[in-house]
């Protein structure tokens, strides 16, 4: 057994072991070793007569489903196989256009691209990880289109949540999503800080995500803000957002209770294990009282491939540079501050989660695109045109100023925010209007 790659244990005590050298599955019970599936699918009783179905070239992960079947993730054939110990048969159930059933529910037909992880969640659902992060999980609702990690570079709008007479205005949200996509934004973030997540109730929180997914209709990815300072609450929000079709999750560091870095690691580890979809960490010490350090970020990235990036909103360009330098090339570092979009890009950052793009999605998307492609001369000219609005939109608590500007431009009907947020002072309102008018005029 010196070439054992992975193993799992059945309820009857049988240990199923993947053998590295022979690309085979062996059953071990009471000291007896039996090869039940080999790389050709012909040796041993475990074959349905189809060598193409049973051939294994790169088995890497093995686990059990709720019925006692052995699930084998074949990384070279890009598929998931099911071995039935009772019937002694093996078949492909997901990947390469196949579909079937496992864990008592139907699978959607999906093409797995370099699958690299599989496990059973605490509720019995099976999660697969691949380069497309396809959710092959009975009981979940996969999004309409599979967005790979590179879909999360560029400019993503941290959407405001429009209110009208105290309630969420769904008409305004739909209009806002259309405006964003029409003007070239790369992605949307639903129910982040800018979306006033602290003052939405649970049902509103999930409904805003569901409607944003519906309105976006697969044209751009939708990232859902599902973080919390209670791990169980974050798990529930992430599960519910997954079920309504979110493409990825933005997970803020727990606020107020100020956990240690080890506590942060365990918090995000459980969240990463609860979904196969991409996760963007969110470090914003000004709001949380703590940061997600470079060391903790790298530790999480090393263990969980679906933690694909971080929104760094601590204003530290040197930290962004370290993250880029010390992480793998596929890890995405996004600015959480509009004014640092260009400085982050200059040290290897790959985009922005933007507040200003609620009002001016086109220019912000163009800035992020220029910067990401290292066209820094042109990017600097555009950045200087936007610098004043980037600063002024934070003259009072976000999203109060940007909602005021959006109402004035007819993007939303009302600038309403929920207490404890309130309208701006007259002096600040006049300053915001002056800068907003000048900025918008420069792009007309």
Between strands 187-190 and 154-158, the pairing is parallel
Single out the residue of 270, 312, 272, 318 nearest to residue 292, CA to CA.
312
Residues with Cβ within 8 Å of 99's Cβ and at least 6 positions away in sequence, in order, are 93, 106, 107, 108, 109, 110
Q: Computed from CA positions of residues 253, 254, 259, 264, in that sequence, does the dihedral angle turn out positive or negative?
A: negative
H-type alpha helices, 42-118? 51-54
Q: Which two tokens stand for residue 142?
A: 């996969």
Q: Which of 296, 304, 341 is nearest to 322 (CA)?
A: 296
Question: In the annotation, is 303 catalytic?
Answer: no
3-state class of 415 per DSSP? Answer: coil
Catalytic residue among 98, 239, 277, 282: 282
- Does the annotation count 29 as an active-site position? no
Q: 222: which strand partners?
A: 188
C-alpha to C-alpha distance for 420 and 191, rounded to whole angstroms: 17
| The one catalytic residue among 98, 277, 311, 403 | 311
Phi, psi of 49 (to 5 degrees): 90, -5
Give the β-pairing of 70-74 and 59-64: antiparallel
And the tokens for 195? 């979306």
Contacts of 121 by beta carbon, 8 Å cutoff, 6+ apart: 127, 137, 273, 274
**Cα torsion through 240, 243, 248, 254, rounded to 10:** 10
Q: Which residues are catalytic?
A: 282, 311
């Amino acid at each position: 057994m010196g070439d054992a790659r992975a193993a799992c244990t059945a309820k009857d005590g049988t240990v199923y072991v993947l053998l590295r050298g022979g690309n085979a599955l062996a059953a071990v019970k009471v000291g007896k070793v039996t090869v039940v599936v080999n790389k050709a699918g012909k040796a041993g009783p475990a074959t349905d007569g189809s060598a193409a179905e049973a051939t294994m070239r790169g088995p890497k992960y093995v686990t059990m489903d709720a019925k006692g079947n052995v699930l084998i993730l074949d990384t070279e054939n890009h598929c998931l196989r099911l071995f039935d110990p009772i019937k002694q048969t093996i078949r492909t159930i997901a990947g390469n256009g196949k579909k079937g059933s496992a864990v008592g529910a139907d699978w959607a037909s999906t093409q797995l691209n370099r699958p690299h992880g599989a496990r059973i969640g605490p509720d019995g659902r099976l999660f697969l990880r691949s380069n497309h992060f396809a959710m092959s999980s009975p009981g979940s609702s996969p999004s309409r289109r599979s967005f790979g990690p590179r879909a999360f570079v560029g400019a993503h709008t941290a959407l405001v949540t429009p209110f009208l007479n105290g309630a969420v205005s769904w008409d305004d949200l739909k209009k806002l999503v259309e405006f964003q996509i029409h003007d070239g934004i790369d992605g949307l973030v639903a129910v982040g800080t800018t979306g006033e997540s602290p003052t939405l109730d649970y049902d509103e929180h999930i409904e805003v995500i569901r409607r944003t997914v519906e309105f976006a209709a697969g044209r751009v990815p939708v990232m859902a803000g599902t973080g919390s300072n209670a791990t169980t609450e974050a798990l529930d929000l992430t599960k519910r957002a997954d079920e309504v079709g979110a493409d990825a999750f933005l997970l803020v560091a727990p606020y107020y209770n100020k956990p240690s870095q080890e506590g942060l690691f365990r918090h995000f580890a459980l969240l990463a294990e609860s979904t196969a979809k991409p996760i963007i960490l969110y470090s914003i010490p000004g709001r949380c009282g703590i940061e997600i350090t470079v060391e903790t970020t790298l530790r999480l990235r090393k263990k969980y491939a679906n933690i694909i990036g971080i929104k760094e909103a601590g204003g530290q360009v040197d930290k962004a540079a370290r993250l880029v330098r010390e992480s793998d090339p596929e890890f995405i570092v996004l600015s959480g501050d509009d004014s640092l979009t260009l400085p982050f890009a200059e040290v290897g950052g790959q985009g922005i989660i933007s507040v200003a793009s609620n009002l001016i999605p086109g220019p912000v998307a163009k800035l992020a695109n220029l910067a990401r492609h290292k066209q820094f001369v042109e990017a600097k000219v555009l950045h200087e045109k936007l610098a004043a609005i980037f600063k002024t939109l934070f003259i009072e608590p976000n999203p109060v100023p940007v909602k005021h500007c959006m109402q004035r431009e007819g993007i939303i009907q009302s600038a309403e925010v929920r207490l404890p947020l309130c309208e701006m002072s007259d002096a600040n309102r006049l300053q915001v209007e002056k800068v907003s008018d000048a900025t918008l005029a420069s792009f007309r």
